[in-house]
Amino acid sequence: MILLISSVDTVGVGDILDVSVFGAEEYSDIKIYVPENCKPYIPLVGYLHVCGLTLEKLSDTLEKLLSPYYKLPVIVSYSEMIPPSIFVFGDVANVGNVRYVKGMRLSDVISKAGLTPSSDIRNIKLNGRIVDLTKENPPVFPGDRVEVPSKWWRPWKEALPLVINLATFLLLFYGTFIK
């Protein structure tokens, strides 16, 4: 018998879990924080990768790993749950987490974060892999990291005054020191 809050949600970075062995006083209400590497330390088990597991799967796994010590059901529940999100940074209007919605694609995340005039949508990094958004629109998942780089050139609207100032400086320099 395993008690669950949700059989659909998966464990993610930042979640705080309550782990208890039913009927075992010394192993009740143990709080487990899920760190960025997804491997929290669990007493009598050690470090265990938990991200992406449902509470049911995690309960089953812990029940097997704790079976040498306890023959009782393991109960896992959320103490605190971080809403699933995707982190977007770089040349976007709103850097930060975008709340995940099932079935989201990269273009959905980018539209929520907002582009700037110099955003380069041909070289977006999705978990380190370069994606050309004009050619593909891959699905995204909670915990993904999206980096939107700037184009290597500034839009002409911004660069033109700089070019004019540089040309003026060079003409003045030439006229003053070279002639």
- Domain positions in the chain are 16-80, 83-179
What percent of the chain is modeled with pLDDT above 70?
88
Tokens for 87, please give them: 């982190």
Entry field: residues in the chain: 179
Q: Of 70-74, 107-111, 113-117, 167-171, which has the strongest mean pLDDT? A: 107-111
8 Å CB contact between 54 and 84: no
Q: Which pLDDT belongs to residue 130?
A: 95
pLDDT of 12 over the 70 cut: yes
pLDDT of 153 over the 80 cut: no
CA dihedral sign, ordered 9, 129, 126, 121: negative
State the pTM of this model.
Answer: 0.47
pLDDT of 92 over the 70 cut: yes
CATH of the domain spanning 83-179, picked from 3.40.50.2300, 3.10.560.10, 3.40.50.300, 3.30.70.960: 3.10.560.10
Per-residue confidence band for 15, with pLDDT thresholds at 50, 70 and 90: confident
Q: Give the class (CATH, top level) of 16-80.
A: alpha beta
Q: Cα(124)–Cα(140) distance, rounded to whole angstroms?
A: 13
CB atoms < 10 A from the CB of 119, how many? 21
Q: Which pLDDT belongs to residue 3?
A: 40
